[in-house]
Amino acid sequence: MAVQQGGFKPGGGGFNKPGGAGGGFNKPGGFNKGGFRGRFVPRKEAEHRINNFIRVPQVRLVGENVEVGVYNTQDALRMAQDQQLDLVEISPTADPPVCKIIDYNKFLMIRRRRKKK
């Protein structure tokens, strides 16, 4: 193994780089210009919790095709799966949280249309 001239710097820094560059790219204006976000892009948190992301023991279920009332979360999720729909948490701050059995993608599409108008 050949060691570059300048050797290893104790305390970090690694090997000296040719041209005296201390790191980053040698572009005018510095590093990270042009919108490069890095390796990990922060994810947006979903607006509503759906299906298995609902982590409370009981929910108040409202909506069509269901009897309004307080249900165990697992029972409510099973009811949604039987109808091939999603269990969506509409009001997470209520006690117990209010959920609705709906098609979540259709719900988002309708909300986008309303916002556009």
Question: What fold is seen in the domain 51-116?
Answer: Ubiquitin-like (UB roll) (3.10.20)
- pLDDT single digits (tens) 48-99: 788 888 999 999 999 888 999 999 999 999 999 999 999 999 999 999 999 9
DSSP 24-93: S---TT-SS-SS---S-PPPPPPSS-BGGG---SEEEEESTTS--EEEEHHHHHHHHHHTT-EEEEEETT
Domain segments of the chain: what residues?
51-116
- pLDDT single digits (tens) 8-38: 556 555 555 555 555 555 555 555 555 666 6
The model carries a pTM of: 0.59
